[in-house]
Chain A
Amino acid sequence: MKTNSNSQNNSKVFLFFLLSILLIWRNPLSSQERFRKSPPYPEPLPELELPNIESGFLSNGLGISVIHKDNLPVISLRLVILSGESSSPEKLPGMATFVANMLSRGALNLSSSEIEEMIEFIGGNFSSAVFPDYSLFTFTFLEEYLDEALEILGKMILQPSFNRREIENVQRSMFYDLVRKNTDSEFIAKRVLFKLLFKGHSYRKSIYSEDIIKNFNQKSLFAFFDNYYRPNNARIILTGNLNLSTASRKVSRYLNTWKRKNLEVSLPSLPEPNQRLKICFVNLPKTEDTTIYMGNIVPPLTNPDFFPFVVLNQVLGGTPTSHLFMNLRESKGYAYYAFSEVEFFRICGVFYIKAKVRPEVTYASIKESLAEVEKITKEEIPSFEIEQAKSYLIGNFPLRIETFENISLKVSEIKAFNLGEEHWSKYYENIMLISPKKVFEIAQKYPLLTPVVVIVGDQNIIIDHLRDFKEVEVYNKKGILLYYIKRGEE
């Protein structure tokens, strides 16, 4: 029996062994399941070597910076004029944008079409963007045509024609562009928010409507150009396979006759943050959803609070895994999206939350957004969340400077705001230093709980939901106050 039993046991062991072998053989994955069950540990964070920025000045005061990159046979040129919409005349907001749009629209002996053909001949693309503090021109072309590109730029800068036919063309295109945007709920919400936040401030000049376009004429364009388009008020940033000495020699060849002029530059005053919660509504018929923009004035890029503020924004609404999105969309199902952003200017920033929600939950969405903000002003954000936000910001930084255009945009911003190169060379270090305590201090320091709230939607759909608020100021699409809706009143 004993022998038998042993033999049975041996058979069981053998069967078990055979079964195990068969299982492993039948399912090749089973031996690897362990590593599939959890995410792998990352290797150490790779070092980021930022490209060297060489900078210098021509004798006429024109600043030149060169970023050496040689992985594409392309050059990206950025021209920064250190004056933007805040320098437009009081009665002609939009002037800086209009002048920028006119720059490629003809020069002495060259029509708009001829300039366009010259740009496209070198595989180029030329565009402009105007901000409250500066005007930015982007010119990308094939690297073998640097001389031709500078020649074109020289003609535009040294011999602008601002001819009347082209002024009419730009007036038409800017007018229709603004009319078209008047149907875009996000554009309207942001425009009204910024208009209210910058009430009485020079930054308000960057918010203008289509009515003003007809007032620009040749004389006023030349006056603005003559004042601000000066080499000592400009910077050129070149990104490509070249060095400062070659770049300076070539730029000088085409722009050394650009005459400097003493400018009276005064920094705009600091705008007052909004001190009490203000609810505003703009009617946009036939829109199915409600768009919400709510924001207030915060510190500028140059302030030491900038870095903790960027981390705060990341935790609150920077990505789809941040608090606002997770709460308003994933948890409550109110919103199609809900994010927060910070837009920076020379003397301040604007922090705002933006969301697109179902009309019937407009009140609840604003309440939830404010509750999320309140939470970070009442208690410290857990350190693992702060670390996650920092990890995102550090990991995302190299992605934002990958293209020639993006890296030169970053350097343009540094030059426009006079930030100093440490602002980006020490970006990693500065973000790494942020603690939950520091973010908590910042959350309490700035008026995040008293924003201006702008709601854009169809009045017929949303009107009953607006009555949930104590008082609503009703504006038109251009940001002009029309009337009030008060709770309990018809």
Chain B
Amino acid sequence: MCNMKQCIMSKRNFLLFTLLLLFLPASFAEAQQEKELPFPITQYKLKNGLQIIISEDYSLPIVSVVVAYNVGSINEQPGKTGLAYLLRNLMFQGSENIGRMQHISFIHRTGGELNAATTQDKTIFSQTVPSNQLALVLWLESDRMRSLDIDDNNVIRAKDDLIEEIHQRKATDPYLESYLYFDQLLFPDFAYSHPVIGTEADVRDITVEDVKSFYSSYYIPNNAVLCITGNINKRKTKSLIQKYFETIPEGKKPPPPDLAKSSERTAKVETFRDSLASAPGFYLGYRIAPPYTVDFYPLAIIEYILLRGESSRLYKRLVKKERIAFQMSGEIEKKEDLAALKIFVINNNEVMMERSQKAIFSEINKLKSSFISEEELIRSKNMFKMDYIKQYATTVDKAIFLVETHLAKNSLDFLGDEINKYLAVTPSDIIGIANRYFTQERILLNIRIK
């Protein structure tokens, strides 16, 4: 058995290994890389434009059905925020053949589980049931895709619930106010800067007609992806999909959201007094290359080097070693065609806050000027690999992973080789990319107690 430190190649062995690779036939070197996903995928499109993804998995007698619509808060107009979120909730209030809340009770009666999520750029409905209940879920999903029940009563009830949720979040979520303001600085255009849940004033003004119009514009088969993963018979599944979805009429192609200013990178330092904050802190953000671009792969590994795990550079220095931060977290936030690396720190006082900022900038400078050790790079990549694998750990995780990828790239053909692009990142890539993206063009929002 090799000791962990022995496992990491010495420089001499590394050279030998590289030389060996040069003399090996190309096919052998390529064989070291996985080119296919570890599960099967079938993709096709119905006549009405609905994109279908099927993936069989026979380990348990369950099936997951995910329907994702390419719509989120970026599709809302000024004065109509919260519409995408409201419509997601209305999707459980009944359709032509299904009564209010019946969707939930049908799924629960089978022992199944369901969920729904709206983000800035997508809305996803998911359910996992025993595999003999696949037709039931397709019946439910197709009915609300073709004939959602939108009337005064439903809309008023959904608006009341949403306003209550806005109140609850405002009252209980510390640092939410400052977070929303930070997002406005980082993504200055309207599409990305308003809260997904909407504002109370806008939600009050939403009319039944607004909801109907939003539904008919975006909840159409040619703006959606249906993914089925689990213990299924492919032939029967295709036939069920055809039965329930093919006759739903295609809609008019939805207009693209207005993202005019979102590609801009600027430098800003501001201060915000947060009414619920119990301690000072700050948000730091860098706009970076979007997912699936060449630059994104090293950036994703940098996220792990700096921020992921207790042995990441920033956590180790700020929280464990120097103890200047009370709490620290961060991640890359991916949007449709944008991304940002965000860091959030809470300090005991403002002196610690300044010291934390200096420490972060000094760690970023180190990243830009010195090669990362082989050991640290393997650690970061292994942690990344584990998180990547967990994206398809269950049938529903897998279905969500597939629809999200499809919505972002409009294809899954590249996916088999995707993980290797992250694992191939070199120390030189890290230095180059860190210098390109971690510049003075950053947003720093200092949070003070009100």
Residues of A within 8 A of B (CB): 28-29, 32, 35-40, 42-48, 69, 71-74, 113, 116-118, 120-125, 140-142, 147-148, 151, 253, 288, 319-321, 330, 388, 391-399, 401-404
Contacts and interface: CB of A to CB of B under 8 A. Distances in A.
Interface stretch (B57-65, B254-262, B343-351): B57-65
Contacts of A398: 60-62, 130
A395 B135 CA distance: 15
Given A74-B386, A148-B7, A402-B394, A36 B104 contact: no
B16 interface: no
B207 to A, nearest CB: 25
B113 interface: yes
For the complex of A and B, the 7 pairs showing the least CB-CB separation, nearest first, are A395-B111, A46-B61, A396-B111, A123-B386, A123-B382, A40-B135, A43-B132
B394 to A, nearest CB: 5
Interface in B222-274: 231, 243, 247
Contacts of A125: 386
Contact of A44 (B4, B132, B135, B393): B132
Contacts of B110: 42, 391-392, 395
B96 A402 contact: no
A147 B1 contact: yes
Interface in B323-359: none
A39 B385 CA distance: 42
B35 to A, nearest CB: 16
Given A123-B382, A123-B386, A392 B109 contact: yes
Contacts of A253: 1
Interface residues of B, number: 58
B104 A393 contact: no
Interface in B378-415: 378-379, 382-383, 385-386, 389, 392-395
Contacts of A117: 311, 379
Nearest to B59: A71
B310 to A, nearest CB: 5
Nearest to B101: A330
A35 B136 CA distance: 11
Contact of B104 (A142, A320, A388): A320
Interface in B57-86: 57, 59-62
Interface in B1-55: 1-4, 7, 38-39
Contacts of A113: 310-311, 316, 320
Contact of B62 (A37, A142, A402): A402
A152 to B, nearest CB: 9
Given A36-B96, A40-B139, A46-B231, A403 B393 contact: yes
A118 B5 CA distance: 9
Contact of A122 (B59, B60, B382): B382
B136 A40 contact: yes
A45 B130 contact: yes
Contact of B108 (A28, A147, A321, A397): A321
Nearest to A117: B311
A36 B389 contact: no
Given A28-B247, A42-B135, A48 B60 contact: yes
A9 B10 CA distance: 97
A260 to B, nearest CB: 24
A394 B111 contact: yes
B112 interface: yes
A392 B61 contact: no
B128 interface: yes
A154 B247 CA distance: 61
B136 A393 contact: no
B139 A36 contact: yes
Interface string B369-385: 00000010011001101
Contacts of B101: 330
Contacts of A39: 106, 136, 139-140
Contacts of B416: none
Given A45-B132, A71-B57, A395-B133, 7 more contacts: A44-B132, A116-B310, A141-B386, A147-B2, A148-B4, A319-B108, A403-B393
A32 B389 CA distance: 41
B275 interface: no
B385 A142 contact: yes
Given A148-B4, A396-B111, A399-B62, A35 B243 contact: yes
B383 A151 contact: no
Contact of B129 (A288, A393, A395, A403): A395
B139 A118 contact: no
B105 interface: yes
A127 B289 CA distance: 34
A71 to B, nearest CB: 6
Contacts of B1: 147-148, 151, 253
Contacts, number: 145
Contact of A123 (B97, B129, B316, B385): B385
B309 interface: yes
Contacts of B311: 113, 116-117, 120
Interface of B: 1-4, 7, 38-39, 57, 59-62, 96-97, 101, 104-106, 108-113, 128-133, 135-136, 139-140, 142-143, 146, 171, 231, 243, 247, 309-311, 316, 320, 375, 378-379, 382-383, 385-386, 389, 392-395
20 contacts: A36-B97, A36-B139, A42-B130, A42-B136, A46-B130, A74-B389, A117-B311, A120-B309, A121-B375, A142-B382, A142-B385, A147-B2, A330-B101, A392-B108, A394-B130, A395-B130, A395-B133, A398-B130, A402-B60, A403-B393
A28 B94 CA distance: 22
Contacts of B383: 120, 123
A113 B316 CA distance: 9
Nearest to A148: B4
B379 A121 contact: yes
A219 B142 CA distance: 65
Contacts of A151: 1, 3-4
Which has the most chain B C-beta neighbours within 10 Å: A121, A388, A394, A401? A121
A334 to B, nearest CB: 15
Contacts of B7: 148
A42 B61 contact: no
A395 B112 contact: yes
B379 A120 contact: yes
Contact of B394 (A38, A118, A396, A403): A403
Contacts of A393: 111
Contact of B61 (A48, A69, A147): A48
A391 B109 contact: yes
Contacts of B105: 320-321
A29 B247 contact: yes
A391 B133 CA distance: 12
A47 B61 contact: yes
Nearest to A152: B4
B250 to A, nearest CB: 12
Contact of B378 (A45, A121, A403, A404): A121
Q: Which residue, B59, B96, B101, B375, has most C-beta atoms of chain A within 10 A?
A: B59
Nearest to A45: B132
A68 to B, nearest CB: 11
Contacts of B97: 36-38
A46 B111 contact: no
A43 B59 CA distance: 19
Contacts of A388: 109
Nearest to A143: B389
A269 to B, nearest CB: 36
Contacts of B316: 113
B61 to A, nearest CB: 3
A46 B62 CA distance: 9
Contacts of B379: 117, 120-121
A396 B112 contact: yes
A69 B136 contact: no
Contacts of B109: 321, 388, 391-392
Nearest to A330: B101
Contact of B4 (A28, A40, A45, A118): A118
B111 A391 contact: yes
